[in-house]
Chain A
Amino acid sequence: MWELIQQNRRKSLVLFFLMGCCLVLLGYLLGAAYLGPNGGMIGISLALIIWLTLSLISFFAGDSIVLGISGAQEVTPDIHPQLFNVVEEMKIAASLPAMPKVYIIDSAAPNAFATGRKPETCAIAVTAGLLARLNRDELQGVVAHETSHVVNRDVLFMTFAGIMLGSIVLISEVFLRGLWYSGGSSRRYRSSSDRGGGQGAAIIAIVAIIFAILAPILAQLLYFAISRRREYLADASAVRLTRYPEGLASALAKIADSDEQLPRANKVTAPLYIVNPLKGEGKKLSDWTSTHPPISERIKILRGMAQGTGYLDYQQSFSLVTGTARLIPASGLKDTTAVPVRIASSESAVKPSEKSLKRGVGDLVRAMNGFLFLTCVCGLKIKIPPDFKQSSLPCPRCHRELQVPAAELATVAVGIEAALAEATYMRKSDGWESFQCACGKNLQLSPAFKESKIVCNSCGKSTTIVGNETK
């Protein structure tokens, strides 16, 4: 597993280095074209300064920028306990040092992404539409994919590669536009100053123009190659974590099915998502110019993994489906321990209707914004906004007067914590026993005591006695 991550890092570094060369060459050529033969160095340093500034900004504020752009909102466990449970499960499976922060994006389009330059400070964001559509196993698959991005350091790497691409595009754009508007004046200046080098300068200028047009395209292709590879690898790691390829496969199928657009995604943040959020564009363009591998192919690979869930199984299925080279380096395949597929979690597989799906999305977003939910006796669910001041209201359907609970969210998660806080004690024998209540007082149990609960007479807390009913 560690060799895999390392090899993966090394290969990415090579691509990263190539992109760096693109940037340096671009800087040199543009400098030389604008400022004469000695301007090359100035061009290089300018290009590097731009890249460094952008990198530093993204390193220290990238997470909050990305989360801000996507409109993600940090949530507490009581909004969606299942999502938190699933994230914690993946945290355990991937041995992350800390629990990732959990964000929900207010959008009906199903998608998800992860950010965080190191595992200690990562965050996982999912859309409300995703939560409404997927069942437990599918959600687990998606979260595992995102966790894998964090574990494999994809987030860090893709951010830097993205910045590199951005700088290249920025510099060549500025150059080309500058040429368009002020080309005449600079040429006149140069031809009058150095007559001898006029021809050389002209050649450099032409090469610079060609390179300024080609570099962004080249860098983009490299960037896409890195991005697609990382998606496959994250799929492989996700299956290894969950041991259940069908979960991720059917999640991807469901995501592909929806034709909803994520309005706040853009070209820069697109590679972070689990599937390309810019659907309309992705379909038209060919495989070479896409940040994500085609979903149908990803699903086919996952469904082809019948025997096990190790990296070896993914590699076999991968070469079978794509018919091409290897994805996972040999060192990552050394671990040949069979990893069997686990059984699906017991959950009724009811397909939500379009209407209940929309309702689920709406309710989730309302819960995030502090709405209260009241269920009337007639079955109507009433949503009460957080700024509602009255203590009661009539039901819109049956006109019963309903009490509004005083500004507290009646959440189930809190109920569980309370239930857990309620202490239990196991009977060990039929004789006299004593144990300590949570308040510190010693409680005695007589052999004749057959109740299932005992109330402490100093703090009033009740303790469940287990073991009485079996004797």
Chain B
Amino acid sequence: MAVLLVLLGIIVLVVIWLVGMYNSLVGLRNQVKNAWAQIDVQLKRRHDLIPNLVETAKGYMQHERGTLESVTNARSKAMGADSVGDKAKAEGELSGAISRFMLVVENYPDLKANQNFLALQEELTSTENKIAFSRQAYNDQVLFYNNKIQMFPSSIIAGMFNFQQSDFFELEDKGDREAPKIDFSQK
């Protein structure tokens, strides 16, 4: 009788432990999803800001049609991307186009004096930062979640209930990590 009770106790403990493990995995998966949603919010905001920025800058920068167009094109490409990988690549290109645009702006003092443009520039800088920080938070979250899935003993539960590993949000284009080069020969 006593042996039976002890066995029963052990089984109950194991079940409680399994349920706890499963719940923590679900919680982690939801945190990853939430972190991804955070990135999405900021990306959307950047997409909304760009037309206004281009519109304001257009009047001042007639000679920079190419720069402005590359920003607009990168934006439409980024808006069309679906998967995490595609999105990361397209958004990386957009970041590059924007930082090139910001460097060109330095040559236009009139534009830099425009109050509306200054406010938009601050918004855009902040949105860029928010994207970077939410990406950082997302990757931290994914690392934690993937570790949990791969490590024993939580890996058993993860295998049983088919928890998939999440992708990191990496900038595909290596060039974007470096500061863009400025060409002085044109001036």
CB-defined contacts of B69 to chain A, threshold 8 Å: 469-470
- The one of A1, A89, A415, A466 that contacts B133, using a Cβ cutoff of 8 Å: A89
What are 21 contact pairs spanning A and B, CB under 8 A?
A: A82-B126, A85-B123, A85-B129, A89-B129, A89-B133, A92-B130, A92-B137, A93-B133, A93-B137, A337-B143, A346-B99, A346-B106, A347-B125, A412-B119, A419-B52, A420-B48, A420-B52, A424-B48, A466-B72, A470-B72, A470-B73
Would you call B79 an interface residue if the criterion is a C-beta within 8 Å of the partner chain's C-beta atoms?
yes
**Residue among B55, B99, B129, B130 with max Cβ neighbours from chain A (10 Å):** B129
Contact B126 A426 (CB under 8 A): no
Task: Give the CA-CA distance A90 to B134 in the complex, in Å.
Answer: 10
- Cβ–Cβ contact B72 & A82, under 8 A: no
A 333-371 contacts with B by CB, 8 A = 337, 342-343, 345-348
Q: Does B136 contact A (CB under 8 A)?
A: yes
Does A325 lie at the interface of the complex (its beta carbon under 8 Å from any beta carbon of B)?
no
A89, B130: Cβ atoms closer than 8 Å: yes
By size class, the interface of chain B is: 35 or more
Check if B51 sits within 8 Å of A413, measured CB to CB. Answer: no
Chain A hits for B76, CB < 8 A:
426, 466-467
Residue from the set B55, B75, B115 with the largest chain A CB neighbour count within 10 Å:
B55
Q: Tell me the complex Cα distance, A347–B129, Å.
A: 14
Task: List the A side residues contacting B179 at CB < 8 Å.
Answer: 343
Q: Decide if A413 touches B136 in the complex (CB within 8 Å).
A: no
Given contacts A81-B122, A422-B52, 5 further A-B contacts (CB under 8 A): A88-B126, A136-B125, A345-B129, A413-B119, A419-B120
Closest to A90 in B: B133
Which of A82, A90, A95, A470 has most B Cβ within 10 Å?
A95
Residue B38 at the A interface, CB < 8 A?
yes
Count of A-B residue pairs with CB < 8 Å:
80
Task: Let me know if B49 is at the binding interface, CB within 8 A.
Answer: yes
Contact, CB under 8 Å: B130 / A88: yes
Task: Decide if A412 touches B129 in the complex (CB within 8 Å).
Answer: no
The answer to whether A412 and B115 touch across the interface, beta carbons within 8 angstroms, is yes
Chain A contact patch, size range: 35 or more
Measured in the bound complex, the distance between the Cα atoms of B106 and A348 in whole Å is: 9
Closest to B112 in A: A348
Interface flag for B102 (CB, 8 Å): yes
Q: Which residues of A contact B (CB under 8 A)?
A: 1, 81-82, 85-86, 88-90, 92-93, 95, 136, 140, 241, 243, 337, 342-343, 345-348, 412-413, 415-416, 419-420, 422, 424, 426, 452, 464, 466-467, 469-470
Interface status of B132 (Cβ within 8 A of chain A): yes
B116 contacts the other chain (CB 8 A): yes
Query: Is B103's beta carbon under 8 Å from chain A?
Result: yes
Q: Mark B71-108, 1 if CB is under 8 A from A, else 0.
A: 01101100100000000000000000001001100100
* Interface contact B51-A466, CB-CB below 8 Å: yes
Cβ-closest chain A residue relative to B140: A1
The contact of A342 among B103, B116, B122, B132, by CB within 8 Å, is: B132
How distant is A407 from chain B, measured CB to nearest CB, in Å?
21
- From known contacts A92-B133, A420-B48, A466-B72, infer whether A345 and B125 are also in contact, taking CB-CB under 8 Å: yes
- B136 to A93, Cβ gap below 8 A? yes
Query: What is the distance, in angstroms, from A34's C-beta to the closest C-beta of chain B?
Result: 53
Chain A residue numbers with a CB within 8 Å of B103 are: 346
A436 CA to B69 CA, complexed, in Å: 26
Mark B40-72 against chain A: 1 for CB-CB distance below 8 A, else 0: 001000001101100100000000000001001
Q: In whole angstroms, what is the CA distance A424 to B53 when docked? A: 13
Contact for A92 among B48, B106, B134, B143, CB less than 8 A: B134
Who on chain A is nearest to B103 by CB? A346
Residue among B52, B103, B106, B143 with the highest chain A CB neighbour number at 10 A: B52
Interchain CA distance A85-B122 in the complex, whole Å: 9
Mark each residue of chain B from 124 to 149: 1 if its CB lies under 8 Å from any CB of chain A, else 0. Answer: 01100110111011001001000000
Expressed in whole angstroms, the minimum distance between the Cβ of A248 and any Cβ of chain B is 15
Assembled-state Cα–Cα distance A122/B46 (Å): 28
Q: How far is the CA of A347 from the CA of B125 in the complex (A)?
A: 10
Cα-based distance from A343 to B178 in the complex (angstroms): 8
Chain A residues near B73: list those with CB within 8 A: 470
Q: Which residues of A contact B130 (CB under 8 A)?
A: 88-89, 92
A419: B residues at CB distance < 8 A = 52, 120
Closest chain-A Cβ to B98's Cβ sits at a distance in Å of 10
